[in-house]
Structure 1
Amino acid sequence: MSQNPPSRCAPSIAAPLDLLIEMTCTRERVMIDSALLAALSDTDGVQEVRLWRLIGEADGPRFWILCGIQRAGREPPIVADQLPDDERDPLVLSSLPSHWHCFERAEVTTTVQGDRHLLLLPMAGDLHTAGVLEVCSSRPVSDSVRTLLACVLRVHGNYMSLLDYSERDTLTGLLNRKSFDSTFLQATVVDAHRLYSVHDVAATATTVPERRQDRPRRYWLGVIDIDHFKQINDRFGHLVGDEALTVLARLMRSTFRYDDRLYRFGGEEFVVLLSAPDEDSARAAFERFRHAVESHYFIGIGRSTVSIGFSDVRAGDTPQACFDRADKAVYYGKTHGRNQVCSQLALVAAGELEDNMKFGSVELF
């Protein structure tokens, strides 16, 4: 008895299944986006795929931020802070009108730019995942593929929402303490290898010549503590205190870059993990935030300030060791006037702090 020939639809079904497996085998958001971009670029005729997200609060200014690019025949995708600096800058909504139309109406949109066909697919979600997927191809994408892509994006969004549920602070929407260790290691170990490895630099120069060479960047961890927060709770009540924490989180999202990691550790303590080329640049980023808080009028409270301590992330660092250094710097700031940014490196150089590094149970001086 002869068997029926294999269905011509099989490859188009297998590819999405492979994509779903690839996306859901990791909890790292950048890797999930990377898997999505890589799979969609394999579609016949696709030249480039771009992932755009909206940043900013729903009731305030909003901007487009490019979170990833995948070009046909080139791998791996370029995601998040691997992008050149000039492509990481936010764009005003009006700069991508077709994308905003697609997102606002939550409908798939097609446009033609010369010999390029653009397919725009809305990505539903909250402040962290909403955006538009841009597929550039040499010919129009078929209706069946469009439907399939839309379904894959829904699964992608659902999975990201599940991660948010387990990894984000309920009150502020920032990352929680539980997620700190894994994202710390991802940022400091994996990205440090990419940025400082001789092999990686050579590969970049030969395979992606048009990209700006990555400037060596270091990672910095800052601890932010609201000044006199106990007095705020005692005087105005915990509901007003919670509102102040929520507003502070919004100021963090609007001040720091999209790919900076923002955490609430509990109470009035917040943490930022960011990349900057040197200590002065890191200090400037934290100073911008300190000034933003100092200048903001908190409803029901009035003016408030924060003290910030920060430290560089070092080779062989553990999350706890790095946090402890920054925490000592913020404690110094709170006991020497508050409303200031203190660098652990600068305090050690000035003889105000000792630089203790611990490896296991051994403390090195």
Structure 2
Amino acid sequence: MMPLDNRRLLRSIVKLTEKPDVRAFELALLATLTEIVSAKTIRLCKIHESAKPPSQKVVVDVRVSDEEPLGDDASLPTLLIDDAAFLECLAKEEKVVASIGLGPGVRIVHPVKAESKMVGFLVIECEADIPRDQELVSIMLGFYKNYVSLLTHTQRDKLTGLLNGTTFDDKLLKIITAQRVGKMRASDGKGLYYLAMLDIDHFKAVNDKFGHLYGDEVLLLFGRVMVDTFRDSDLLFRVGGEEFVVVLRDVDLAQAVAILDRFRLAIERYPFPQIGKLTTSIGATIISGEDLPASIIDRADKALYYGKNNGRNQLWIYENLIAEGKLKVAKDDSSVELF
């Protein structure tokens, strides 16, 4: 490893600030730390947000891309409870040094923070706990805390904390591109991505009757039910008003239906304060690498409004509607006729 001088460190920081989103920044941070710290391996693992008890929360390696199918290696999500060093680090919110089995070297787990809370762990496997190296790591994690907090504000919806519409556009395009380039494994109907549009039924009536403060509370609680109900690997967005989107990752049709209907039922059973019962209509479609983003959104939207026009509180898959003859694709493929 080359001796580190102040100019080199500053150049590294400048390169990091060029990254436009959180994940790109995190990957660049790992690359930078690999250059300036003596280590066998360096991993950044994020804690998935959910209402589960801390020990039951899932930790995901940031190297796992939202745009790729889940793999079968060590980077798969793990439970916090399965890693003693993670649990200790979470409880103490400070560095934990542990041995690596019976072999030489140590495993150092640093707490990673952003927006005044722990969001993950930086895991370093190295020959020894070298103070100089770990001081550099602490400095870079302090920079991470401040910079990620800024980036998060640009990627998240301010009310619900879900990913926002701008981030949705970017993520969807990346998923389509990854499918187009990698061709993925869609031929057997497995390993697919589904996009679902979720709309709160009669939301305007809620605003008109109870006021916008209660309307905002409904949106906030709806988002929380999404976080608590969908899987750790799913991408959750609020794209505007009472419209939400979820991207289901690595599923077949039956799994997509089961996951989405579980959420529909969760909303139906949720006791919204002052308001009582609300429902949601859901329309979903397959994300294909051969499509434009607008086409995918349009298909999901048509499935959504089929449900809203036929009683609400329903889940419809666009491809099923076509197969059942409930919707018909026009010859120019630019519109759909309802039957």
TM-score, normalized by the shorter chain, greater than 0.5: yes
1:97 aligns with 2:111: no
DSSP-derived class of the 1:124 partner? strand
Hey, what's the Cα distance between the residues in 1 that align with 2:213 and 2:137? 43
Which amino acid in structure 1 is aligned with residue 44 of structure 2? L
Q: Deviations over 1:240-268 (max 9, x none)?
A: 22111111111111222334221112221
> 2:8, 2:331 → 1: CA distance?
48
Match of 1:135 among 124, 141, 154: 124
Distance (Å, rounded) in 2 between the aligned partners of 1:184 and 1:169:
17
Q: How does 1:285-304 map to 2 (within 5 A)?
A: 285-304=259-278
SS at match of 1:193: helix
Q: Does the 8 A contact of 1:46 with 1:136 survive in 2? A: yes
2:60 aligns to what? 66
> Residue type matched to 2:319 in 1?
L
Q: Secondary structure at the match of 1:130?
A: strand
Counterpart check, 1:121 vs 2:144:
no
- TM-score using structure 1 length: 0.79
Structure 1 residues 363 and 301, CA gap change in structure 2 (3 angstroms): closer
1:231 is displaced (CA, Å) by 2.0
Kindly provide the CA deviation profile for residues 52-107 of structure 1, in whole angstroms up to 9, marking residues without a partner as x: 222234x7534132223xxxxxxxx555555526854451x433332233234332
Name the SS of the counterpart of 1:175 in structure 2: coil
Q: Which of 152, 162, 170 is the matching residue for 1:174?
A: 162
Aligned residue identity for 1:110: V
Identify the structure with bigger relative contact order (alpha carbons < 8 Å, sequence gap 6+). 2
1:175 and 1:263 in contact (8 A); partners too: yes
Aligned to 2:252: 278
Q: Is 1:189 equivalent to 2:177 in the alignment?
A: yes
The residue that corresponds to 2:143 in the other structure is 155
Whether 2:43 is the aligned partner of 1:50: answer yes
- Given candidates 71, 74, 77, the residue that maps to 1:84 is 71
Is residue 114–residue 144 contact of structure 2 (8 Å, CA) maintained in 1? no
In 2, are the aligned partners of 1:261 and 1:274 still within 8 Å (CA)?
A: yes
For 1:353 and 1:241, the matched residues in 2 are separated by: 33
Q: Is the 8 A contact 1:23 1:36 kept in 2?
A: yes
Q: Distance in 1 between matches of 2:192 and 2:5?
A: 42
Cα pair distance change 1:31/1:195, threshold 3 Å: farther
Q: How far apart are the structure 1 equivalents of 2:3 and 2:255?
A: 52
Q: 1:251-294 CA deviation, whole Å, 9 max, x = no partner?
A: 11122233422111222110112223422222222112112222
| 1:301-322 Cα deviation digits (max 9, x unpaired) | 2222111001112234232221
Residue of 336, 346, 362 corresponding to 2:320: 346
**Matches of 1:356 and 1:29, distance apart in 2:** 41
User: Which residue identity does 1:158 align to in structure 2?
Assistant: N
Contact 2:179–2:289 (CA<8 Å) still a contact in 1?
no
Structure 1 residue 218: Cα displacement: 2.3
1:164-313, aligned counterparts within 5 Å? 164-190=152-178, 192-194=180-182, 196=184, 217-313=191-287
The answer to whether the Cα contact below 8 Å between 1:52 and 1:64 also exists between their aligned partners in 2 is no
1:288 and 1:155 mapped to 2: Cα distance? 40
For 2:234 and 2:148, locate their aligned partners in 1 and report how far apart those are by CA, in whole Å.
18
Change in CA separation of 1:254 and 1:236 when aligned onto 2, cut-off 3 Å? same
Unaligned 5+ segments in structure 1 are 1-7, 69-76, 198-214
How many pairs are equivalent?
Answer: 327
Contact 1:56–1:127 (8 Å) recurs in 2 = no
TM-score using structure 2 length? 0.84
Note closer, same or farther for the CA distance 1:355–1:275 as it changes in structure 2 (3 Å cut).
farther
Give 3-state SS (helix, strand or coil) of 2:32's partner: helix
- Per the TM alignment, residue 24 of structure 1 is displaced from its structure 2 partner at its CA by 2.8
Distance 1:26-1:222 versus aligned 2 partners, 3 A rule:
same
CA RMSD of aligned residues (A): 3.0
Q: 1:83 & 1:156 partners in 2: Cα distance?
A: 26
- The aligned counterpart of 1:331 is 305
Name stretches of at least 5 consecutive residues in structure 2 with no aligned partner: none
Identity %: 33
Q: Aligned partners of 1:128, 1:281: CA distance in 2, in Å?
A: 33
Give 1:156 deviation, angstroms.
2.2
